[in-house]
Amino acid sequence: MFVSASLLSAHPLSLGAEIQRVETACDQFHWDIMDGHFVPNMSFGPGVIQKARSVTQKPFDVHLMVQDAQKVAPLFWDLPIQTLSFHPNCCPDPQGLIQGIQNRSLQAGMAVDLSSDFQNWPDQWWHCCAVALVMGVVPGFSGQAFSDQALVTASWLKKKFPHLTIVVDGGVEPGNVGLIQQSGAEGVVSGSYLFAASEPMKAYQALKKSSVKKNEDGF
């Protein structure tokens, strides 16, 4: 189970220092891109991500929470990132966007809200994607409680599309990470749990230990 640290929970005035503080306590960094329309909040632009690459060599995954992903994605897909995920309900041509992302040698992902009708999305979209980003909270704000609906979603997706890397985003902590892993997820996005910790490495190790223990115990 890999852990992606959500920089939405980092102190915005000390972003570089925050990245360095948790660099050894995560496997990659997660960037939530918000435009104030799809969700009532705003966050990072492409320039910030470009500059952040000088601080760490850990993989970057970008999550577009924007009203027009088709228009915004090109601002990010030439950056030094590894994965670019979007919400297909905010995109006029999801298949075309997936192809555009892949043409930049990036992993394409689709994000699933708690209220998404993802079971009705064309199978072809999923067959072309590498990642399913399953939301465990309502997109837009950190520090929310985890919804068990994410477990149902992750399980359904993994059974139908076993090639997908399932990543659960939001509300992750040691008490639920084992159940998340059992649902079929290979990764989690953790924000406030990591960044609020006085010792991020201990928080990271707790997530790792909990996922392994639940997996070995089988419950």
Positions annotated as catalytic residues are 32, 169
List pLDDT tens digits, range 141-175.
Answer: 666 789 999 999 999 999 999 999 999 998 999 99
List Cα–Cα distances, 199 to 13, 23, 71, 196, in angstroms: 20, 12, 39, 9
> Which sequence spans correspond to the domains of the chain?
2-217
pLDDT at 46 over 50: yes
CATH of domain 2-217: 3.20.20.70
Query: What's at 35, amino acid-wise?
Result: D
Torsion of CA 156, 207, 21, 50, to 10 degrees: -10
Query: Model pTM?
Result: 0.93
Within 10 angstroms of residue 209's Cβ, the number of other Cβ atoms is 13
Residues pairing with 107 in the sheet: 83
Q: Tokens 């030439």 — which residue?
A: 78
